[in-house]
Amino acid sequence: MKHTYFIILILVFLSCKNDSKTPSETEKETQTEITEIAKDTLIYPGEKHFKSIRQVTFGGDNAEAYWSFDDKQLVFQSNNKGWNVSCDQMFLMNAN
C-alpha cells in the first residue's frame, strides 16, 4: 500500500511540471507569425476577420465586385487595357 501512495505521489509531482516558454521563445513565435502574415500582402498584421484571401483580379482602378444572388457568379467593372477596354465596362464571371 505504501508503494502505491509513493507511485501516485511521484506521478502527481511529475504532472505538475511547468513547461512555460521563456519570453524570448514567445517573441520568436510572434515574430514568425507576423512574418508569415506579411508574406500575404492582402492580409495586414493584426487582421482578425480574414484567415485567407484570394485575389481574383489584377490591375484596373476599381476595387468592387459583387456576388450574384445564387453565389455562382461575380460581377465587377474594369478598364483593363489588356482586355482592349478603354473605359469602365461591367464583366460577369463564373465563381469556379
Spell out the domain ranges in the chain: 22-54, 56-96
The 10 Å CB-count burial string (b at 16+, else e) for 3-12 is: eeeeeeeeee
What was the pLDDT predicted at 55? 74
What was the pLDDT predicted at 83? 82
Q: Which three cell numbers stand for residue 43?
A: 492580409
Total-model pTM: 0.36
What CA–CA distance (Å, rounded) separates 23 from 28? 9
DSSP 8-state secondary structure symbol assigned to residue 20:
P
Whether 34 contacts 47, CB under 8 Å? no
What is the pLDDT tens value at each position of the chain, 96 positions in all?
A: 777 888 887 877 777 766 665 666 666 666 666 555 545 567 777 878 877 777 776 665 656 789 999 989 999 888 777 888 878 888 899 988
- Most distant CA atoms of the chain, gap in Å: 90
What was the pLDDT predicted at 4? 86
What CA–CA distance (Å, rounded) separates 74 from 91? 8
What was the pLDDT predicted at 67? 92
What was the pLDDT predicted at 70? 92
What was the pLDDT predicted at 96? 82
